Amino acid sequence: MADEALFQFLHNELIQYVYKSSEHGEMENGRCITKLENMGFRVGQGLIERFTRDTARFKDELDVMKFVCKDFWTCVFKKQIDNLRTNHQGIYVLQDNKFRLLTQLSAGKQYLEHAPKYLAFTCGLVRGGLANLGVKSIVTAEVSVMPACKFQVMIQKM
């Protein structure tokens, strides 16, 4: 339990620091999100590199996505993705019904507007992980009811 806490607390500090070190204008929010996303990207790259060192080669894109939903997610968030859907045309939706970085926020609607900053790092994490497995993508996140969360991965065909 303390392991997860370490990541959570550090993640919180990161968000606070990024927001504090920028001025608080409307324009700035987007930049903070981008910074957090970029940090997630690099962490995701590093993690997947270590993590796949001894795994077999992936069969296809879907195989890669399954790996992200199971092994990668478990490593970072201590649970699997609850639901993976795809339109078989390069769009995947990963649903986590109890996303760990949101569980610390109150479930009320009044905090919904703060959700994006708690998701940016993870979007980057997924994008970075996939990038290092040769899958270029755009990752966005969406929250309707906290702490459930959907990550949409759009594969960029090369």
Considering the complex, state which of residue 37 and residue 61 has its C-beta at the smaller distance from its own copies: 37
Query: Whole-angstrom Cα distance, residue 5 to residue 2?
Result: 5
Residue type (1 letter), 75? C
Distance of CA 10 to the CA centre of its chain: 15
Binding test (CB under 8 A) with its own copies, winner from 15, 18, 65, 133: 18
* Smaller CB separation from its own copies, 6 or 56: 6
Q: Which amino acid is at 82?
A: D
**Residue 27 binding its own copies, by CB under 8 A:** no
Give residues with Cβ within 8 angstroms of 138, minimum separation 6.
127, 153, 154, 156
- Interface with its own copies includes 5 (CB under 8 A)? yes
Distance (Å, whole) CA 3 – CA 85: 30
The amino acid sitting at 103 is T
CB of 121 to its own copies, least distance (A): 9
x-or-dash string of contact with its own copies, 35-54, rule CB under 8 A: x---x--xx--xx--xx---
Could you list the residues that contact its own copies (CB under 8 A)?
A: 1-3, 5-7, 9-11, 13-14, 17-18, 21, 35, 39, 42-43, 46-47, 50-51, 75-76
